[in-house]
Amino acid sequence: MDTASLYWGLVLGSVGMGYCVYGKKQQKGMALLSGVLLMILPYVVSDNLLLALLALALAALPFFIQI
């Protein structure tokens, strides 16, 4: 585990928490699911480039899929 992984985990955890709170309050399932996945993602993926690409895809997902 390096410094970049720690920072990615902090940033993605914060963004994921924001998505979770928004999804819960607005009753938007895709935002809630995306937030949970953003918080779990740094624990599962260790490569920083792959982590960044997957995080961008998950962060953009609620804008394209409305559930």
**66 belongs to a structural domain:** no
- Tens digit of pLDDT for each residue in 25-59? 999 999 999 999 999 999 999 999 999 999 999 99
* Radius of gyration, CA atoms only, the chain: 12
- Across residues 9-13, what is the average pLDDT? 95
Does residue 9 register a pLDDT over 90?
Answer: yes
Residue 24 domain boundaries: 3-61
Q: Which pLDDT score, from 0 to 100, does residue 67 have? A: 75
Residue 22 belongs to some domain of the structure: yes
Q: How many domains does the chain have?
A: 1
Domain contains 67? no
17 within some domain: yes
Would you say residue 43 lies in a domain?
yes
Angle at 57 between CA 20 and CA 65, to 5 degrees: 65
Tell me the whole-structure pTM to 2 decimals: 0.90
Q: Do the domain assignments include residue 42? A: yes
